[in-house]
Amino acid sequence: MVPVKVFREGKETFCEWRYEDGKPLGRILNQGEGFFLEPEFSSLEEARAFCQRELEKDASPFFHVLQGDDIIASVYNDAYHTAKDKKENRIYAAVSLVIVMLLATAVSLLFMPFQATTHHVMFIGGMGGFYLLLYSIGEHWNLEGVAVVIMLLVLLSILVPLLAT
């Protein structure tokens, strides 16, 4: 019987996943900075228990359990990685919203023929709200929403001066 090994994923580790006979199987395409842990195990259950003990020490790593060259299971702390992803998404949303609002402010002040400050604020807030709507519809790290708002602002900066004359 082929022994079971545990691989700790690292930077630049790439895996390929596929289904064979209804079971997910994977292969490590690029080991990167990942490494195999020393003990070999006789069963999948022993390897999973070892990975769980390691995750109690540090919740951040991904472990892949391999039999031969095939990844037969992955073990990681789902709650930790979900919380980490949500935090990164909030930071991205805040930074990209600030960028969109700054661009909307520039377009509003340079190209929009508004007489009142409240109209500029409403335009900038509307662009920010439109971006947040696009961001909430898309997946995390939604670059499409930023691209759509930038295209809209460019079109407005071209068309509004033409209509105002």
Q: What is the pTM of this model?
A: 0.71
Give the chain's domain count: 2
96 and 50 within one domain: no
Query: 67 and 38, same structural domain?
Result: yes
Last residue of a domain, one of 76, 107, 136: 76
Specify whether 90 is located in the same domain as 72.
Answer: no
Same domain, 38 and 15: yes
Give the model's pLDDT for residue 18: 85
- Select from 33, 57, 76 the last residue of a domain: 76
Residue 1 has a pLDDT of 67
Judge if 89 and 130 occupy the same domain: yes
The tens-digit pLDDT sequence of the chain (165 residues) is 678 999 999 999 999 888 888 877 889 988 999 999 988 898 889 999 999 999 999 999 999 999 888 898 899 999 999 999 999 999 999 999 999 999 999 999 999 989 999 999 999 999 999 999 999 888 777 788 889 999 999 999 999 888 876
Q: Exposed, middle or buried by CB within 10 Å (0-12, 13-18, 19+), for 156?
A: middle
pLDDT at 164: 74
| Res 97: pLDDT | 94
3-state secondary structure string across 108-153:
HHHHCCCCCHHHHHHHHHHHHHHHHHHHHHCCCCCHHHHHHHHHHH
- Structural domain containing residue 32: 4-76
Q: Name the token pair of 101.
A: 């609002």
Q: Are residues 108 and 149 in the same domain?
A: yes
Q: Helical H runs in 11-142?
A: 44-57, 78-111, 117-137
pLDDT at 51: 93
* pLDDT score of 21: 83
pLDDT of residue 38: 83
